[in-house]
Amino acid sequence: MKKAFYAVLISSGLFCTEPSYAQTPGTWGTWHIGTLVLPSSIEKKWGGYIEIQARANGVFQQYFYNELKGGLSYDLDKNFTVLIGTGRYSTFDDPGPINVEKRLWQQLVLTQLMSRIKIEHRYRVEQRWLTYQAEDSTAFRQRLRYRLNAFIPLNHTTITDKTVFLSIYDEVFLNPRGPVLERNRIYAGVGYQLNAHLNMQLGLVRQANYNQPKAVQGSYIPLTTSTKNNVVVALTYRLAHRNSTPRIETLPSQQD
């Protein structure tokens, strides 16, 4: 299993370094996500993760975007976790990158583990530094994000070894300077928790971007919405602290 996970990471790295430049986005895309997690335990409250992600404008073709990111987390108690993260995000086109973003964020995660349904609330504040290669310009932006994620194990009451589960979330992206609503993501997928270390997910995410109304050269352009559906293939491998007691149940959340 370890060899399979490392193979996925290497493949994702190849996507990141050798994208197939795509000029025309389609209505369907693909997200490949490979994540390595060091979760907290009962005795050791520190955790963290690193992640590689590659996205395409088609289904498993026309790769144009990649992410490399990571974070450090700390459990305030069994239901509250804080995290600080950073990442590099690159968008490509022929003949090279068209913009690079460096990001820093702070987040709070609240979990509610009920008898069958598991709920996660994630609150995130982002600082974003963008460099536009074609225009030779830079910009700074901030963003607020909130994600409500529900997990439902199908063949066990908890998400443990050999568990099939459903994952559903809705996430909103807000601009504190306005216009307020920038983006919305709705995701539904099925996952399999093989053992304490490895889980896999396959799902669909529908992303809507909102272009706010504006006046250009005396003409009024109304609110427009661009949407895209994406196939999500995610593989997560969890390490373990030495000589520590793992938590009874850990939610298989996507870090994106």
For residue 184, is it within any domain? yes
Question: What amino acid is encoded at 215 in this protein?
Answer: A
Residue 198: pLDDT over 90: yes
Lowest mean pLDDT among 3-7, 76-80, 161-165, 228-232: 3-7
Asked if 168 and 159 touch (Cβ cutoff 8 Å), the reply is no
Query: Could you read off the pLDDT of 91-129 as tens digits, one per residue?
Result: 988 666 789 999 999 999 999 999 899 999 999 999 999
Q: Which two tokens stand for residue 122?
A: 């994630």
Residue 254: pLDDT over 50: yes
For residues 82 and 233, give the distance between their C-alpha atoms in angstroms, rounded to a whole number: 26
Residue 208: pLDDT over 70: yes
For residue 185, is it within any domain? yes
For residue 90, is it within any domain? yes
For residue 255, is it within any domain? no
53: containing domain: 2-238
Element (H, E) at 224: strand 224-238
CA torsion, points 87, 93, 98, 103, in degrees to nearest 10? -10
For residue 68, is it within any domain? yes
For residue 40, is it within any domain? yes
For residue 249, is it within any domain? no
Domain count, the chain: 1
Global confidence as pTM? 0.84
Supply the CATH number for residue 42's domain.
Answer: 2.40.160
Cα-trace Rg, the chain: 19
For residue 11, is it within any domain? yes
User: Which residues, listed in sequence order, are joined to residue 231 by a DSSP beta bridge?
Assistant: 30, 204
